[in-house]
């Protein structure tokens, strides 16, 4: 903190129940796009922080984070022990926060440090527990150094980053990992001794299309024909698509979607992270921020994907199905997300981690960022050397992939963007 802000205090809380939804929503990124009475008493109704340039991110909202905790999806039992770092002003008001968890493993993070853990433990170190600063189970960029917009923002961000480092030392943890960090926060982390890491996702950018056809018009002719053919084939066999949000998200709908989620989760990573109660809670608390894209055939839902609606972005998350149909995954997860973003005037679609198959469907390479504080000097040096080389590789791969996008060589979208 700067001298004039030394009367601010840092502390930790053991869960979102220690702060109210109202005070949390005053932090940048946690305020809703607009008041939505249908979401009940847990909605954040203070509006957006448009004047600060920070738009609403559903994954750092009180509703989302508290639902993870209260549903048992996040807990000591699952290896995610909440230890959120909070910054309070001289009057006790909440001025900043860093959502953080003491982790006993590296699952559910999407920025992989398993090799670091293995190397450190082979050398006689103890990598776990560690401190993870993120939205659990969510590979989407969003605020990590959340501050109440106003004077001294950068100093408060640095204070929160320093708080993570101090907690690491105090509790004897090996490291702090802030993942899917906005690029604008990296300087504050680096100033407090964190190492910068980059990775890559694929995002769709909407410059203001009036329709999906407008988007197709920017593609090379062959790519345009391929996507039209793919979308038509996905809806053969009498399949129709429905968008469900708000009051559409009934308990019976959640029962069906949870069956999809369990099936996919069990096949892909062995243990689905989210409990059934979590879906009921977000349906009650943030229904207007949730979009289910559901595929129906012969009177029943056979597949679906859950998306979260931010201030300017649609975030695709989980997909599942009980019937396999060609191209249906692409239609439900990628094409329909573009349709929705265009219809609602959203600037971007983030469709989850990895996936070069998204490139042909209009999703371009985008750089993601994370920050890592390593307590042990030897491990820190080794990781720093690795990250320097990795950043060069990520940049090179992004440049190469951008040249293989579906857009026309002239008049198309820009090659790639950083977050």
pLDDT in tens, 390-404: 999 999 999 998 888
Question: What pLDDT shows up at residue 409?
Answer: 75
Q: Which residue has the higher pLDDT, 86 or 50?
A: 86
Residue 413 inside a domain? The answer is no
What is the per-residue pLDDT across 286-321, written as a single tens digit (0 to 9) for each? 999 999 999 999 999 999 999 999 999 999 999 999
Helix axes 276-285, 62-70, angle to 10 degrees: 150
Per-chain mean pLDDT for the chain: 91
Task: Provide the domain limits for residue 188.
Answer: 3-202+367-401
Query: Do residue 317 and residue 346 come from a single domain?
Result: yes
Measured distance CA(309)–CA(344) in Å, rounded: 10
Query: Do residue 225 and residue 124 come from a single domain?
Result: no
DSSP-derived secondary structure letter, 332? I
Confidence of residue 352 (pLDDT cuts 50, 70, 90): confident
Average pLDDT over residues 376-382: 97
Residue 311 inside a domain? The answer is yes
Q: pTM score > 0.85 for this model?
A: yes
Query: Do residue 243 and residue 355 come from a single domain?
Result: yes
- The side-by-side arrangement of strands in the sheet containing 84-88 is 9-13, 84-88, 94-98, 146-147
Query: Do residue 33 and residue 173 come from a single domain?
Result: yes
Please state the φ and ψ torsions of residue 117, each to the nearest 5 degrees. -60, -45
Measured distance CA(204)–CA(35) in Å, rounded: 27
Query: Do residue 87 and residue 104 come from a single domain?
Result: yes
Measured distance CA(228)–CA(218) in Å, rounded: 14
Residue 11 inside a domain? The answer is yes
Query: Do residue 226 and residue 317 come from a single domain?
Result: yes
Question: What pLDDT shows up at residue 189?
Answer: 98
Helix (H) or strand (E) holding 344: helix 336-344
Query: Do residue 389 and residue 240 come from a single domain?
Result: no
Give which of 374, 305, 377, 367 is closest to 340, Cα–Cα. 305
Helix axes 114-122, 377-402, angle to 10 degrees: 150
Confidence of residue 205 (pLDDT cuts 50, 70, 90): very high
Give which of 204, 177, 206, 201 is closest to 367, Cα–Cα. 201
Q: Is a pLDDT exceeding 80 seen at residue 41?
A: no
Query: Do residue 184 and residue 291 come from a single domain?
Result: no
Query: Do residue 121 and residue 163 come from a single domain?
Result: yes
Q: Is 189 helix (H, G, I), strand (E, B) or coil?
A: helix
Q: Which residues pair with 301 in a beta bridge?
A: 296
Residue 410 inside a domain? The answer is no
Q: Which two tokens stand for residue 378?
A: 């030897």
Measured distance CA(196)–CA(36) in Å, rounded: 37
> HSE of 124 in the Cβ direction (CA atoms, 13 Å)?
1
CATH number of the domain that residue 344 is part of: 3.40.630.30
Query: Do residue 150 and residue 244 come from a single domain?
Result: no
Residue 212 inside a domain? The answer is yes
Measured distance CA(268)–CA(318) in Å, rounded: 11
> HSE of 354 in the Cβ direction (CA atoms, 13 Å)?
4
Considering its fold, how many domains does the chain have in total?
2
Residue 411 inside a domain? The answer is no
Residue 385 inside a domain? The answer is yes
Residue 417 inside a domain? The answer is no
Query: Do residue 267 and residue 317 come from a single domain?
Result: yes
Average pLDDT over residues 262-274: 72
Query: Do residue 285 and residue 383 come from a single domain?
Result: no
What is the per-residue pLDDT across 208-263, written as a single tens digit (0 to 9) for each? 999 999 999 999 999 999 999 999 999 999 999 999 999 999 999 999 999 999 98
């Amino acid at each position: 903190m700067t001298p004039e802000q030394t009367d601010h205090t840092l502390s930790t809380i053991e869960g979102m129940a220690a702060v109210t939804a109202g005070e949390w929503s005053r932090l940048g990124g946690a305020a809703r796009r607009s008041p939505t009475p249908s979401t009940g008493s847990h909605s954040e109704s203070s509006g957006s922080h448009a004047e600060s340039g920070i738009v609403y991110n559903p994954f750092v909202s009180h509703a989302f984070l508290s639902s993870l905790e209260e549903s048992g999806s996040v807990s000591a039992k699952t290896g995610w022990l909440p230890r959120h770092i909070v910054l309070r002003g001289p009057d006790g008001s909440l001025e900043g926060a860093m959502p953080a968890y003491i982790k006993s493993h590296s699952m559910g993070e999407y920025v992989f440090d398993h090799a670091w853990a293995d190397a450190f433990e082979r050398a006689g170190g103890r990598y776990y527990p560690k401190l993870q600063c993120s939205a659990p189970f969510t590979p989407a960029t969003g605020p990590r150094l959340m501050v109440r917009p106003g004077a001294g923002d950068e100093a408060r961000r640095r204070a929160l980053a320093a708080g993570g480092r101090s907690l690491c030392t105090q509790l004897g943890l090996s490291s702090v990992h802030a993942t899917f960090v906005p690029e604008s926060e990296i300087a504050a982390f680096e100033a407090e001794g964190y190492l910068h890491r980059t990775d890559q996702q694929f995002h769709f950018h909407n410059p203001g299309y009036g329709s999906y056809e407008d988007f197709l018009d920017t593609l090379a002719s062959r790519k345009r024909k391929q996507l039209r053919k793919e979308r038509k084939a996905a809806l053969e066999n009498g399949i129709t698509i429905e968008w469900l949000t708000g009051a559409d998200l009934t308990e019976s709908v959640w029962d069906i979607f949870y069956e999809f989620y369990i099936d996919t989760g069990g096949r892909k990573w062995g243990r689905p992270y989210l409990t059934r109660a979590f879906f009921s809670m977000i349906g009650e608390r943030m229904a207007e921020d949730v979009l289910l894209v559901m595929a129906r055939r012969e009177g029943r839902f056979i597949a679906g994907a859950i998306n979260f609606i931010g201030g300017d972005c649609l975030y695709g998350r989980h997909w599942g199905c009980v019937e396999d149909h060609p191209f249906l995954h692409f239609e439900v997860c990628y094409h329909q997300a573009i349709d929705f973003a265009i219809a609602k005037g959203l600037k971007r679609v983030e469709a989850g981690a990895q996936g070069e198959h998204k490139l042909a469907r209009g999703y371009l390479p985008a750089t993601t960022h994370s920050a890592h504080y390593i307590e042990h000097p030897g491990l820190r040096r080794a990781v720093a050397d690795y990250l320097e080389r990795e950043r060069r590789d990520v940049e090179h791969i992004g440049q190469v992939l951008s040249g293989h996008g579906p857009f026309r060589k002239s008049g198309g979208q820009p090659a790639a963007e950083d977050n």
